[in-house]
């Protein structure tokens, strides 16, 4: 069985209170008087009924609600989910049980759900607190051993009490050496009757004597019966007086108290008025404290520092400078833009100057006059003439060089075919050959030197000119030198070859003559070309002279006009080549003037705020940073100034509120004094005491009315006795008188019966048959008593045997679990529990064995907890009820408490545990969901 939720309509301090989502291990934490015991009592009351008014238990009837009771939502029962509701009603309250299928029931159904156990059994097995733990140490060894043993099986203690009861009732019937028990008396009577039967056979009395005795006895009996009725009536009245004596004395005491403490009529809402006045006073005092604190804080906040004092001293200068600050920002921004544009334009100007060959920081050439433009035109014409001559010379030179190159190649080819001179001399007259050879060598030598000279001249001219024409001359000169070098190498090779020539045939000689003829002709042509090249060299030298004269004139013009040579002359005639430069210079000069003007305005503002440089703490090296800091400083001081004005205004407002509060406080104090005067007191303490006394008297009056209703019929009789002792003495005397009278009546009745029997026997002719019948009756009565005694003895033996068997079945497992729990709780100082000769013993870690009464209080409490938990674990197959613990572990140290909480978590896996505690340390051991805080 598990409690899922608790809903309290009204019970003690709790009214309309619900606790939902109750966990398997649920902790109710609260300080003293938080209502923990109330919740625990509520669970007991819903399950087993409210305590009766005559009982010793607290009923927890709510004072602030007419509703009394509540309900529990239960799960894991034999009927599934169940709702148990108990409200105010006769005796223990009216209970309603609602099953999951909608069926309802009352106490009978509830008894089945809680397995038929009563409240005392439940509290003995499934509920314990610190008091229960502490009682363990107050028991002697026998009681303590039986107390621990009683936890061994379900309901064991209750069964043991039944065994004791049966044995006591059996002892009342018979004892081996007794005389008072009924069986012992019957045996004695039976023996006496047996003796009478033996001796009465010969005896016989007079009939008349018996008859007279019978009449006397009848008269006495009527008289005694009337006396008995009177005595019993008087005794019943005295018993009623005795039972109500406490009520009578209470009523007398209440009357005396009411007379002594008579009070004037108090206003019904007097306490409410006082509470309202006190609440208003408390509100005013709280407000005054807060307002005074505000004044103190505002006063601290309004304190002036050095920076603010400086600001106040130069406030007008700061204000004037701040008015222009946005303008200065715009000027600085504009200056930055202009400077950036100027830098860009300056770079572009430098690029133009560089492109036009002008120095960056030099003067710009002036615009050319008409005379200078005419001079430029002459230079252009001269330049064009020189360029034309240069082209023609280059072309002629190339043509001549090409001719000389071709002729040299042809001569080289013919010379390769020439014979050696001595070979040719064999076919020629001796005087002819030397002349031809000499001429040929002469022409060849002259041609070689002419080509070499021309090539060298071309190289020099190309190097001096440096233009495209010069490059061409360099190339031509290089080719000429290569050709002359090749010719020189060929001539040497030809000479070497000629030496090795062999003699030729006549046909070859004829051919040789023809070749020599061609060779001579080519040599002649080469001489002509060489002469032409020599003439060309003279013309080329003349051209270089003219070109140098042009360069000097151009240079002189450049120096005069400051126009670089790189500038094209044609540009100088058409327009001003430096117009864009002049415009760009004009733009940069205007920008410079604008920057100077902006700088002047900005500098004037910064000069005006130079006085604040020290207090701001930033120099003017970086104007933008100083400007920002200046503005921040000004805004901060203005804010402080405004705040101080607001603070002053707020302080004044708060002081006015304080004065108003003080006036209200005086009015309320005056009203309180008036209220006190209305009930004739001078202080609040006396006022409250009077109301407490008034409420007590009202309660006592109500109690007096109730008591008077109960004792109204006997109120006069109570005054006949000084105290209860006198009443009890009279009661005892009356009772003794009645008992004596009853004995007399019994004796008289017995004597009358004996007379009647004797008369009847005499009439029938004998007494022996009567004694025989009496003996038979006594024997029958003795047999019935023996049968009752045997039943009680057999029942006690059966129960004890059942307990023995139950212990054999369950006790070993319970002892094993208890040993484990006890070992855990004592941090392994005790190894196990022993069960020997119906006694429980404990074995320490060192092997020594102790009786339970030899344990310390703390260890005894731990043994009790271990046995309780072991029992609950082993009883879950028979009973599964929530375990309620009310601060049972406050005497445990922190380590043992931690161990017990781990044990609680383990037990809660099979049985729900609801733990009530006021220890803040204990609640830290559990999760947030497991703890419900009571306030």
Q: Cα 370 to the chain's mean position, in Å?
A: 96
The answer to whether 390 touches 618, Cβ cutoff 8 Å, is: no
Query: How confident is the model at residue 512, as a pLDDT?
Result: 80
Report which listed range, 126-135, 304-313, 661-670, 707-716, is most confident. 661-670
For residues 584-597, give the mean pLDDT: 81
How far CA 861 is from CA of 134, 442, 806, 810, 843, in Å, comes to: 7, 150, 25, 22, 16
Beginning with the edge strand found earlier in the chain, give each strand of the sheet holding 839-844 in spatial order.
830-836, 839-844, 849-851
Residue 267 has pLDDT above 80, yes or no: no
User: How does 238-252 read in b/e, with b if 16+ C-beta sit within 10 Å?
Assistant: beebeebbebbebbe
In the chain, pLDDT over 70 holds for what percent of residues?
69
Looking at the whole model, is its pTM more than 0.85?
no
Query: How confident is the model at residue 491, as a pLDDT?
Result: 53
Helix, coil or strand: residue 885: strand
For the stretch 655-704, pLDDT in tens is 788 888 888 888 888 888 888 787 777 888 877 777 777 777 666 666 66
**Whole-angstrom distance, CA of residue 901 vs CA of residue 884:** 14
Instruction: Find the length of the chain.
Output: 935
Task: Please state the three-class secondary structure of 392-439 as a single string.
Answer: HHHHHHHHHHHHHHHHHHHHHHHHHHCCCHHHHHCCCCCCHHHHHHHH
> What does DSSP say about strands 25-29 and 913-917: parallel, antiparallel, or unpaired?
parallel
The H or E element that residue 849 is part of is strand 849-851
The closest alpha carbon to 761, from 769, 752, 753, 750, belongs to 769
Long-range (24+ apart) CB contacts under 8 A made by 781-788 are 781/186, 782/183, 782/186, 782/187, 782/190, 785/173, 785/174, 785/182, 785/183, 785/186, 786/174, 786/183, 788/173
As given in the structure block, the two tokens for residue 624 are 């933008």
How far CA 486 is from CA of 33, 395, 473, 492, 533, in Å, comes to: 134, 24, 20, 10, 19
DSSP label at 826? T
**Whole-angstrom distance, CA of residue 332 vs CA of residue 927:** 67
> 556 φ, ψ to 5°?
-60, -40
The answer to whether 24 touches 912, Cβ cutoff 8 Å, is: yes
In the structure, what pLDDT confidence band is assigned to residue 139 with cuts at 50, 70 and 90? very low
For the stretch 754-806, pLDDT in tens is 877 776 765 554 455 676 677 788 888 888 888 888 877 777 666 665 555 55
For residues 325-351, give the mean pLDDT: 81
Query: How confident is the model at residue 43, as a pLDDT?
Result: 93
The answer to whether 88 touches 79, Cβ cutoff 8 Å, is: no
Query: How confident is the model at residue 786, as a pLDDT?
Result: 83
For the stretch 162-195, pLDDT in tens is 667 777 787 888 777 777 788 888 888 888 877 7
The answer to whether 276 touches 672, Cβ cutoff 8 Å, is: no
**Whole-angstrom distance, CA of residue 423 vs CA of residue 428:** 9
The answer to whether 547 touches 386, Cβ cutoff 8 Å, is: yes
Residue with tokens 């009623």: 240
Query: How confident is the model at residue 502, as a pLDDT?
Result: 46
Helix, coil or strand: residue 567: coil
The closest alpha carbon to 372, from 636, 211, 556, belongs to 556
Q: Which of 85-99, 138-152, 563-577, 741-755 has the lowest mean pLDDT?
A: 138-152
The answer to whether 129 touches 112, Cβ cutoff 8 Å, is: no
**Whole-angstrom distance, CA of residue 481 vs CA of residue 396:** 18
Q: Cα 146 to the chain's mean position, in Å?
A: 52
State the distance between the two ends of the chain, measured CA to CA, in whole angstroms: 28
As given in the structure block, the two tokens for residue 351 are 């690029």
Q: Cα 762 to the chain's mean position, in Å?
A: 108
Q: Which of 459-473, 670-684, 910-924 has the lowest mean pLDDT?
A: 459-473
Report which listed range, 42-46, 559-563, 710-714, 845-849, is most confident. 42-46
For residues 384-392, give the mean pLDDT: 78
The C-alpha angle 341, 344, 345, rounded to 5 degrees, equals: 85
Query: How confident is the model at residue 137, as a pLDDT?
Result: 47
The answer to whether 931 touches 29, Cβ cutoff 8 Å, is: yes
pLDDT, mean over the chain: 75
Residue 562 has pLDDT above 90, yes or no: no
């Amino acid at each position: 069985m598990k409690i899922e939720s608790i809903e309290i309509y009204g019970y003690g301090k709790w009214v309309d209170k619900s606790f939902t989502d109750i966990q398997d291990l649920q902790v109710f934490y609260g300080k003293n008087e938080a209502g923990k015991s109330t919740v625990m009592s509520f669970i007991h009351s819903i399950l087993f009924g409210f305590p009766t008014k005559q009982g010793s238990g607290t009923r927890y009837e709510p004072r602030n609600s007419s509703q009394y009771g509540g309900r529990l939502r239960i799960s894991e029962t034999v009927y599934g989910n169940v709702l148990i509701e108990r409200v105010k009603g006769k005796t223990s309250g009216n209970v309603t049980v609602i099953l999951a299928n909608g069926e309802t029931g009352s106490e009978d159904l509830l008894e089945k759900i809680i397995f038929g156990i009563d409240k005392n059994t439940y509290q003995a097995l499934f509920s314990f607190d610190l008091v229960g733990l502490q009682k363990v140490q107050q028991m002697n060894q026998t009681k303590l051993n039986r107390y621990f043993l009683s936890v061994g099986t379900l309901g064991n203690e209750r069964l043991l009490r039944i065994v004791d009861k049966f044995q006591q009732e059996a002892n009342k019937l018979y004892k081996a050496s007794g005389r008072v028990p009924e069986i012992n008396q019957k045996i004695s009577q039976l023996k006496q009757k047996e003796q009478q039967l033996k001796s009465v056979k010969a005896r016989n009395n007079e009939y008349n004597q018996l008859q007279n005795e019978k009449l006397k006895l009848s008269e006495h009996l009527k008289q005694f019966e009337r006396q008995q009725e009177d005595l019993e009536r008087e005794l019943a009245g005295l018993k009623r007086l005795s039972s109500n004596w406490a009520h009578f004395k209470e009523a007398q005491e209440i009357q005396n108290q009411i007379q002594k403490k008579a009070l004037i009529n108090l206003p019904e809402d007097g306490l409410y008025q006082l509470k309202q006045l006190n609440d208003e006073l408390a509100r005013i005092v709280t407000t005054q404290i807060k307002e005074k604190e505000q004044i103190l804080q505002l006063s601290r906040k309004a304190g002036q520092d050095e920076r603010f004092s400086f600001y106040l001293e130069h406030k007008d200068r700061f204000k004037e400078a701040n008015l222009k600050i946005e303008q200065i920002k715009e000027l600085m921004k504009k200056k930055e833009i202009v400077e950036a544009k100027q830098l860009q334009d300056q770079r572009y100007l430098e690029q133009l100057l560089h492109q036009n060959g002008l120095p960056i920081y030099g003067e710009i050439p002036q615009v050319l006059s008409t005379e200078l433009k005419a001079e430029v035109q002459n230079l252009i014409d001269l330049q064009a003439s020189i360029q034309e001559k240069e082209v023609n010379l280059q072309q002629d030179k190339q043509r001549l060089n090409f001719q000389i190159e071709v002729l040299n190649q042809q001569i080289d080819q013919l010379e390769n075919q020439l014979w050696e001179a001595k070979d040719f001399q064999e076919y020629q007259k001796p005087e002819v050959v030397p002349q031809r050879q000499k001429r040929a060598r002469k022409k060849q030598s002259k041609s070689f030197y002419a080509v070499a000279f021309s090539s060298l001249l071309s190289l020099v001219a190309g190097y001096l000119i440096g233009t495209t024409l010069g490059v061409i001359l360099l190339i031509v000169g290089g080719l000429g030198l290569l050709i002359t070098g090749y010719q020189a190498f060929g001539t040497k090779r030809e000479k070497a070859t000629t030496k090795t020539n062999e003699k030729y045939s006549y046909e070859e000689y004829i051919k040789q003559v023809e070749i020599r003829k061609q060779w001579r002709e080519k040599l002649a042509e080469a001489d002509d070309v060489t002469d032409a090249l020599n003439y060309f060299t003279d013309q080329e030298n003349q051209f270089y002279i003219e070109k140098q004269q042009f360069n000097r004139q151009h240079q002189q013009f450049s120096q005069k006009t400051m126009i670089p040579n790189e500038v094209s002359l044609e540009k100088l005639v058409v327009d001003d080549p430096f117009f864009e430069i002049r415009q760009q210079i004009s733009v940069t000069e205007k920008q410079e003037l604008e920057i100077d003007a902006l700088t002047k305005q900005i500098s004037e503002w910064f000069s005006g705020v130079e006085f604040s440089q020290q207090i701001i703490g930033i120099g003017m090296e970086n104007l933008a940073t100083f400007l920002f800091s200046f503005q921040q400083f000004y805004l901060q001081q203005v804010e402080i100034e405004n705040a101080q004005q607001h603070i002053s205004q707020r302080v004044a407002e708060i002081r006015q509120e304080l004065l108003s509060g003080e006036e209200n406080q005086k009015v309320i104090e005056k009203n309180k004094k008036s209220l006190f005067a209305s009930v004739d007191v001078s202080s609040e303490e006396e006022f409250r005491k009077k109301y407490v006394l008034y409420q007590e008297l009202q309660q006592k009056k109500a109690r007096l009315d109730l008591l008077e209703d109960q004792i109204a019929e006997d109120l006069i009789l109570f005054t006949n006795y000084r105290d209860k002792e006198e009443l009890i003495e009279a009661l005892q005397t009356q009772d003794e008188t009645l008992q004596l009278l009853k004995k007399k009546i019994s004796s008289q009745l017995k004597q009358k019966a004996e007379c009647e029997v004797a008369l009847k026997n005499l009439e029938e002719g004998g007494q022996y048959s009567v004694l025989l019948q009496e003996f038979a009756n006594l024997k029958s009565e003795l047999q019935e008593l023996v049968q009752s005694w045997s039943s009680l003895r057999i029942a006690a033996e059966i129960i004890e045997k059942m307990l023995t068997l139950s212990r054999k079945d369950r006790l070993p497992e319970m002892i094993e679990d208890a040993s484990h729990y006890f070992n855990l709780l004592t941090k392994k100082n005790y190894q196990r529990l022993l069960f020997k000769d119906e006694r429980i013993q404990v074995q320490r870690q060192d092997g020594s064995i102790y009786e339970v009464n030899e344990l310390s209080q703390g260890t005894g409490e731990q043994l009790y907890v271990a046995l309780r938990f072991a029992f609950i674990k082993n009883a879950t197959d028979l009973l599964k009820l929530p375990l309620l613990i009310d601060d049972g572990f406050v005497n445990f140290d922190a380590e043992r408490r931690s161990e017990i909480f781990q044990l609680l978590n383990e037990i809660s896996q099979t049985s729900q545990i609801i733990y009530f505690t006021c220890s803040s340390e204990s609640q830290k051991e559990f999760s947030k969901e497991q703890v419900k805080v009571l306030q």
